[in-house]
Structure 1
Amino acid sequence: MRNVYVGGAAVVPFGKHRGESAADLGAQAVGDLLRVTGVAPSQVETGYGGTMYGGSLLAQRVLQRVGVSGPAVFTVENACASGASAIHLAWQAVASGSVGCAIAFGAENLSDFGGGALPLASHDLEIAQGMVMPAAYAMRAQRYLHGWGATSQDLDRVSVKNRANGSRNPRAHFQAEVTLEEVSESRLVADPLRLLHCCPNSDGAAAVLLCSEGFAEDHGLPLVRVAASVVRSGRFSTGYRDMTWPDITARTAARAYQQAGLGPDDLDLVELHDAFSIAELLHAEALGLTTRGKAYVALENGEFDRDGRVAVSPSGGLLSRGHPVGATGVVQVCESYWQLTGQADELQVPGAEVALTHVTGGGIFGVDNGACAVHILTTRDDE
């Protein structure tokens, strides 16, 4: 397996893009990617597009619009990990030596659903009984608050931090800070989660170019190495499930750290799946950023701030940046790429050299989540 590099990134800002389809948004992102990298469509040897609601053959429709026509192209659906799974498959293609240049993108338009919780597969046993994602995370939050001594104000702090980060991000759906009082007084959604504890349904797209070292050097592209790319599915069990421990995240991260030869202490920044405020606390612990049951303490002490021990969601995360499902895993890599190449402007984490991205999702009976993807990016030379 050879080294794989991120050669460029492009994002259609997240928000409401009514009247534009997922294919429209995806074509904008991929077109911008080709322009900023200077790569010709004919040089793209394969492409992968992640989406959950964008329809059949999204990747083919997007790539044909920008002139990539003829090579192997794949449309990937893997719930919230769709875009990150597209990146993983593109990484495999380059790492194996099959291709020297691949595009991975994610695109989604959720405005068509109007509002409220996203529709899930009704034939699943738990979903048929009324399970929706806000309810699932509310149960996780209740167990965490009960078991570890945290309070609802600790959930508020997650939202305040990430909205403050997102207020500096021109690509974010929400670009305004909120106060603890505003979060605690926002409308109740599923106790203890309130409206400002929940990410918005957004529209948007993101794209990255993955390539070999030789391709990057030939095109004068920065060398940001993909030190790890791992995707895992949930383990099925009909028995007891610990609602406060995302096993799928812990397993995926453990494999990624092993693959990269790095650990949690090496990370400068993390873009994780904070679809709900409680998710940041749960996943921070499963990623090894802090000991179990202590993420809320680390948060209160400023350890997850942009200038803290490890910057968590410096882009604003899903809570501020938004969550166009198929695009989320890709935009995390875009934001990390800009951090590592010193192009993050007001979001910049000083001296950032190692970044981890994490996305997980998909409600299925008997597992904590259907899919999880973790990527580790670095500008370090040591391997």
Structure 2
Amino acid sequence: MTDVYIVGIDMIPFGRYPTRTVPELGAEAAWLALDDAGLGIRDMQALYCGNLMEAHLMVGQRILREMGLTGVPVTNVANACATGATAFREGVIAVKSGLYDVVLAVGVEQMGRGLLGGSGRSDGFVEEGVLGSNTMPAMFAQIGVEHARKHGTTFEQFAKVAVKNHHHSTMNPKAMSQRETTLREVMEAEMISWPNTKLMCSINVDGAAAAVIASERAARRLGLLARSVRVRASEMTSGPYTAKEFAIPDFNEVTRNCARLAYEHAGIGPDALDLVELHDCFATAELVHYENLGLCQEGEAGRMIDAGETALGGRIPVNVSGGLLSKGHPLGATGIANLYEVATHLRGAAGERQVVGARMGLTHVVGGSFGRGSACVIHVLERV
């Protein structure tokens, strides 16, 4: 099997695009990624498209209608918050197997406003009021409360995650929100679901990101190997059986399993990483994922945020893009946008927010809902 490389990658600024369509946003990101690689749509041998809200409407084919109907195979992917990363992974697998030499992966989403979740399951049972709330803020609040019960994590420590990521966003021109917030401002904001205030919740925005994936042979032939980023590992897991899985998705266990596989297949440990873009859909989520990804020991996440270890300039910078809390979280686009951020640092092109000397980075997304299961995708990227 061949090594696989990202030879072109980009994203549109995340925000609100009420006058544009999903295919238009996806096509714009695709053109940006193709321009980054110096290639055209006719150079692509397949398209993998991640979109959740319009998954049944053949978004990938509609993107090609905007760009040029080349007749290549199109695979449309929907996999909760892991949608974009799953589409990218499908492209990686196809190239690694030798089926194709160069493919395009696109993640795109237009989001509504308000809380995600809250609907009943297909079997008619509604957890709301029986097992608590099945809105996303409540699910991730429960994860934070459980961590606090076990390890004494404080409201202030959770809030510091938001302060850090909001600060990082001021250096990212493609982030939806680019403003500083003080610790007091975060803690005194409207409470959404304890301990997550409004400023500790990710932003529902519109967005798109895309990547051109190539085999080593193609990257060499096209003269793109020197500026490419190697995909060192691409792993995906679903939620295993745990005592609470049928009540609430165990985002911790599914992430730990995926991280273990990613490190094993990349041949590294977490100490080899220079930066991480992880799934901070809520401030509580980022903190628990420090431990799930092995960035610190069990129960040390609160100390880690207090010490500034995950801030730009710290031991292992996390979500230097501003994360989902500030950059925004268009579900289908998030996974590839995370890859864009890490790849940009590995290329040394992140400007003011550059992680100096970055050689190895990890991206993580995880999604799911009550009674439906979960999905986690982790990629390890390496500078050539």
TM-score (norm 1): 0.94
Q: Relative to structure 2, which stretch is displaced further, 188-197 or 82-91?
A: 188-197
2:185 maps to 1:187: no
Q: In the superposition, relative to structure 1, how do residues 21 and 120 fare at CA in structure 2: closer, same or farther (>3 Å)? A: farther
Q: Does structure 2 retain, via aligned residues, the 8 Å contact 1:143–1:243?
A: no
2:278 maps to 1:280: no
Runs of 4+ in 1 over 6 A off after TM superposition: 240-245
> May I ask how many residue pairs the two structures share in their alignment?
375
Residue 289 of structure 1 aligns to a residue in which SS?
A: coil
Matches within 5 A, 1:218-233: 218-221=221-224, 222-233=227-238
What's 1:170 paired with?
173
Task: Give the alignment partner of residue 305 of structure 2, picking from 295, 299, 305.
Answer: 299
Residue 13 of structure 2 aligns to a residue in which SS?
A: strand
Q: In the superposition, relative to structure 1, how do residues 232 and 121 fare at CA in structure 2: closer, same or farther (>3 Å)? A: farther
Inter-partner Cα distance in structure 1 for 2:283 and 2:213: 31
Inter-partner Cα distance in structure 2 for 1:124 and 1:151: 37
Q: Does structure 1 retain, via aligned residues, the 8 Å contact 2:49–2:76?
A: yes
Inter-partner Cα distance in structure 2 for 1:95 and 1:366: 30
Matches within 5 A, 1:225-374: 225-237=230-242, 239=244, 246-365=252-371, 367=373, 370-374=374-378
- How many angstroms does 1:306 deviate by? 1.3
Inter-partner Cα distance in structure 2 for 1:159 and 1:213: 39
Inter-partner Cα distance in structure 1 for 2:127 and 2:250: 22
What's 1:39 paired with?
39
Matches within 5 A, 1:71-220: 71-110=72-111, 113=112, 115-119=113-117, 122-123=120-121, 128-130=126-128, 131-220=134-223
Q: In the superposition, relative to structure 1, how do residues 39 and 366 fare at CA in structure 2: closer, same or farther (>3 Å)? A: closer
Inter-partner Cα distance in structure 1 for 2:297 and 2:372: 26
| Aligned residue identity for 2:91 | A
Q: Does structure 2 retain, via aligned residues, the 8 Å contact 1:44–1:68?
A: no
- How many angstroms does 1:366 deviate by? 7.4
Inter-partner Cα distance in structure 1 for 2:306 and 2:352: 22
Residue 311 of structure 1 aligns to a residue in which SS?
A: coil
Q: Does structure 2 retain, via aligned residues, the 8 Å contact 1:124–1:365?
A: no
Q: In the superposition, relative to structure 1, how do residues 245 and 22 fare at CA in structure 2: closer, same or farther (>3 Å)? A: closer
| Aligned residue identity for 1:228 | A
What's 1:9 paired with?
9
What's 1:62 paired with?
63
| Aligned residue identity for 1:231 | M
Q: Relative to structure 2, which stretch is displaced further, 262-271 or 299-308?
A: 299-308
Q: Does structure 1 retain, via aligned residues, the 8 Å contact 2:248–2:371?
A: no
Q: Relative to structure 2, which stretch is displaced further, 67-76 or 82-91?
A: 67-76
Residue 12 of structure 2 aligns to a residue in which SS?
A: strand
Q: Relative to structure 2, which stretch is displaced further, 27-36 or 165-174?
A: 27-36
Gaps of 5+ in 1: none
Q: In the superposition, relative to structure 1, how do residues 239 and 284 fare at CA in structure 2: closer, same or farther (>3 Å)? A: closer
Q: Relative to structure 2, which stretch is displaced further, 301-310 or 325-334?
A: 301-310
Q: Relative to structure 2, which stretch is displaced further, 209-218 or 266-275?
A: 209-218
Inter-partner Cα distance in structure 1 for 2:270 and 2:140: 25
Gaps of 5+ in 2: 129-133
- The RMSD of aligned alpha carbons is 1.8
Q: Relative to structure 2, which stretch is displaced further, 145-154 or 233-242?
A: 233-242
Q: Equivalent pairs: percent with the same residue? A: 38
